[in-house]
Chain A
Amino acid sequence: MNQHLKTPALKPSRRLFLGGTAAGIAGLSLGFSIPVADAEAAEQAPEVNAWIVIKPDDSVIIRIARSEMGQGSLTGLAQLAAEELECDWSKVSTEFPTPGQNFARKRVWGNFSTGGSRGIRDSQEYVRQGGAAARMMLVQAAANRWNVPVSECKAANSVITHTPTGRTLTFGAVAEEAAKVTPPTSIVLKDPKDWTLIGKGVKRLDTLDKLTGKLIYGIDITLPGMLVAAVRDCPVQGGTLKSFDATKVADMRGVKKVVPVGKTGVAVIADTYWNAKTALEALPMDWDFGPNAKVSSASIHAELAGGLDASDAFVGVKTGDASGAIAGAAKTIEAVYSFPFQHHATMEPMNATALVTADKCEVWCPTQNGEAALQAAADASGLPLSACDVHKTILGGGFGRRGFSDYVGQAVTIAKQMPGVPVKLIWSREEDMAHGRYHPITQAKFKAGLDKDGNLVGMHMRISGQSIRASFTPGKPPEIDMGVFQGLNGAGAEGKFTYAIPNLLIDHAMRNTHLLPGYWRGVNLNQNAVYVESFMDELAHASGQDPLAFRRKMLTGKSRAVLDAVAERANYGKPPKGRFHGIAQIMGFGSYVAACAEVSVSPAGKLTIHKIVAATDCGYAVNPAQIERQIAGSFVYGLSAMIYGGLTIKDGAVVESNFDTYNVIRIDEMPEVECIVMPSGGFWGGVGEPTIAVAAPAVLNAIYNATGKRVRDLPLMNTSLKSA
């Protein structure tokens, strides 16, 4: 037990949470670097400004406000700042300022929230300005030293040169003086055509420690004297814990205390996780499952189905007269689809470590929203924000789940009952599955009319189901949730409906369930893409048209360009023998995306996804190599959910409890993925999410071409693809 005591771990904001090791020492021979020493030195080195710290040895630390959960924006954001700073990229490392520091410094780092594929596109401007301002201050400091006009000096690769005389100074030599220079009031950013680092597929900055076991995730936090807690919350949302009998486990090995967690849960605090979990399993608990104890998948399905023809729908999109056009059409087509609850199942289960005293609350946790976690810590501890802080770790996956702070509040509630003792709360996978913020459940009904030439003249799409927004105001659902219409003309540039249809009506009958929905990588774009892109195929087939040609008639500009790009690269329409193509396109998170899937289905019904060609026009591509990884990775996430990922509700609770019942794609099912990153410039679209939405419909459309079976209900595993 001594090992961790030797580590002076109580300054972890610097010590543990270095975003990455310096790129320069990620060489092969050195093996283990010394990020801890780097970080402590950084504490002494003055910052040039809030974003940039430069040490006398010229190493550069770029501060990253957004969370890193695997999506790579830590590296992308550093590229943005470094581009303007004109520093030597091999000398760059990163660190996370804490939400408490942000609060104390009047949000100098802006928003910490990391979701909605916004990490780069929403902060790119001020992060680049931060780098540019620091460069200007460094150059000014050098000019002052030389007593020459600043216009005669230039910065490149961490060196400032006085052009007329050729004299040079490194950034490290003038950093201290630069910090005292008055920050510039007007900053001109580089023209994108002059970028040298932005747009380059450089390697991630945070890799080495992920290969040696050295990286400290939230679940790995170790503090002196720390205890570990295991929790059980009521498996039915809306239920409560009537009682528990702590005396039955008080004498079990390692148990320190059994504490209530609000009105709905109980935690065992012990010396180790295993002892805490073992005692929790032995703890007698008496639940009141509450008003939702009878809810089942069937009852939810029936409730949503009722919304498909109900009159209480919010109109999200309306052009022309859809019902009139459909009534007068030469051919009408109808179809009903459904999309289930899905779970995030981040690789690292939920966890948080808290240390609460009478006047201070500190939290160490993986979070996508540091400021919300800080608020949750303040709420649960009863202390003011200024007395709380949150130290963010790198996340073992987020996918939207860690934008919620429920587990942070729980950890603080538990630790508060052990004042002065750090307590690490770890959820079992079973607890994690039972208490998600699930992908919302919906159904959709289409009616459409084609004229005699096969043109789509009118379409009505009725969505029935959950609103994520409604979950934030329990009992008082909003009038309308435009987020439901993501990709269908939802909220502004987040997802325009790309097809030109003269008469279009899209409306939403809100049907909320007691299971709370949340943001799940791709959010509402996912089901909307499955619905619209499957139905577009149905329309094409019903009127004897090729699905690509049918779509192209209604598309223009960037949407058509990405679809054409995948069709061309995939050799659309000419798949290898025994294989079949399917296509899809949509716009979301500010980007235009398309995919062409190539599948085969054996007579026994076994699906093989051989290959997916994907294209994205995200405006500017900061790091194409990482974008390709995001696309391929998101396909695994999206296709796992499409094939296996539906949650069953029984007696108000989620039935699936671990990866044995909630299966996901492994390497043997992984398709080849080919990416076309085609940034057309002039706008900033998201990357982590949008492409996920086209994988499932492209595969489903390919399955139809292979089998003649139109899969309208997910997950796919519930449908047999066996040939009749």
Chain B
Amino acid sequence: MIKFRVNGVDREVDVDPATPLLWVLRDSLHLTGTKFGCGIGQCGACTVHIDGEATRSCQMTAADLAGKSVTTIEGLADRGQLNKVQVAWLEGDVPQCGYCQSGMIMAVSALLKSNPKPSDEDIDATLTNICRCGTYNQIRAAIHAAANA
């Protein structure tokens, strides 16, 4: 049994300790908002916050999780109130297929915590997530909008 917190709730899972957090979330806890894109830490679709820090959940095993606190896209809105990044995404009509956007939003909300007004260069250096639909320019505009909200 591995015990950790997810979106403010204590959870226990009985899985192979080598199971990546991504699959613990998706298959054991049915939190499917965190997406599988590559499984090798390249695409960022699986980004969650671990103790507040943006982390690619496919690169973290269940064994590493004990005692940690995980926030997923499902836990980002606060009592139904969208987070300011989600608001900026909605206002900016950002998603196309949307599949990468959970990871994008998680990565960006962590970025804005550590760097409330990121420059374009900061964004380029930090946001390495892949969007195959190519929503990057809408994402950039929405990051600035969220930063100024």
What is the interface of chain A, defined by CB distance below 8 A to chain B?
1, 3-4, 26, 28-32, 69-72, 203-204, 206-208, 210-217, 219-220, 222, 228, 253, 271-275, 278, 345-349, 394-399, 426, 428-429, 625, 629, 632-637, 658-660, 664-668, 670, 672-673
B 104-131 to A, binary, CB cutoff 8 A, 1 in contact else 0? 0100000000000000000111011111
Q: In the complex, what residues of A have CB within 8 A of residue B93's CB?
A: 203-204, 207, 625, 629
The number of inter-chain residue pairs (CB within 8 angstroms) is 195
B73 partner, pick from A71, A213, A347, beta carbons under 8 A: A213
CA distance A179 to B10 in the complex (A): 51
A31 partner, pick from B80, B89, B96, B98, beta carbons under 8 A: B80
Interface residues in B, total, Cβ within 8 A:
65
A211 contacts B86, C-beta separation under 8 Å: yes
What are some 29 contacts across the A-B interface (CB < 8 A)?
A3-B29, A28-B87, A29-B81, A203-B93, A207-B89, A207-B98, A211-B90, A211-B95, A212-B73, A213-B74, A213-B102, A220-B26, A222-B32, A228-B27, A273-B23, A274-B15, A274-B16, A275-B16, A346-B132, A347-B130, A347-B133, A348-B35, A348-B37, A397-B97, A397-B133, A428-B39, A658-B38, A658-B39, A667-B136
CA distance A664 to B133 in the complex (A): 11
Q: Which of A26, A29, A211, A394 lies at the interface centre, i.e. has the most chain B CB atoms within 10 A of its CB?
A: A211
The list of the 10 closest CB pairs from A to B, nearest first, reads A213-B33, A636-B134, A70-B97, A210-B98, A396-B99, A633-B134, A70-B96, A31-B80, A213-B73, A668-B124
- Output the nearest chain A residue to B16 by Cβ-Cβ distance: A253
B 67-109 to A, binary, CB cutoff 8 A, 1 in contact else 0? 0000011101101111000110110011111111110010000
- Output the nearest chain A residue to B45 by Cβ-Cβ distance: A347
B133 contacts A273, C-beta separation under 8 Å: no
B38 contacts A629, C-beta separation under 8 Å: no
Minimum C-beta distance from A526 to chain B (A)? 15
CA distance A72 to B123 in the complex (A): 26
Minimum C-beta distance from A454 to chain B (A)? 38
Q: In the complex, what residues of B have CB within 8 A of residue A670's CB?
A: 134, 136-137, 140
What is the predominant secondary structure among interface residues of chain B facing chain A?
loop
A347 contacts B34, C-beta separation under 8 Å: no
Let me know if B146 is at the binding interface, CB within 8 A.
no
Let me know if B135 is at the binding interface, CB within 8 A.
yes
Minimum C-beta distance from A384 to chain B (A)? 33
CA distance A562 to B115 in the complex (A): 42
Q: In the complex, what residues of A have CB within 8 A of residue B101's CB?
A: 210-211
CA distance A222 to B99 in the complex (A): 17
A429 contacts B74, C-beta separation under 8 Å: no
Q: In the complex, what residues of A have CB within 8 A of residue B19's CB?
A: 272, 274
Let me know if B54 is at the binding interface, CB within 8 A.
no
Q: 8 new A-B pairs (CB below 8 Å) besides A31-B79, A347-B97?
A: A71-B96, A212-B73, A272-B28, A274-B16, A274-B23, A348-B35, A397-B99, A658-B38
Minimum C-beta distance from A421 to chain B (A)? 16
Q: In the complex, what residues of A have CB within 8 A of residue B130's CB?
A: 347, 659, 664, 666
B38 partner, pick from A203, A216, A228, A429, beta carbons under 8 A: A429
B139 contacts A637, C-beta separation under 8 Å: no
Q: In the complex, what residues of A have CB within 8 A of residue B76's CB?
A: 212
CA distance A207 to B101 in the complex (A): 10
Q: Beyond A210-B101, A396-B98, is A632–B134 a contact (Cβ under 8 Å)? A: yes
A633 contacts B135, C-beta separation under 8 Å: yes
Q: Beyond A211-B101, A660-B40, A666-B127, is A634–B27 a contact (Cβ under 8 Å)? A: no
Minimum C-beta distance from A520 to chain B (A)? 12
Minimum C-beta distance from B7 to chain A (A)? 10
- Output the nearest chain A residue to B128 by Cβ-Cβ distance: A666
CA distance A1 to B14 in the complex (A): 10
CA distance A395 to B96 in the complex (A): 10
B97 partner, pick from A32, A349, A396, A673, beta carbons under 8 A: A396
CA distance A347 to B101 in the complex (A): 11
B132 partner, pick from A1, A275, A345, beta carbons under 8 A: A345
Q: Beyond A207-B95, A273-B27, A625-B93, is A664–B33 a contact (Cβ under 8 Å)? A: no
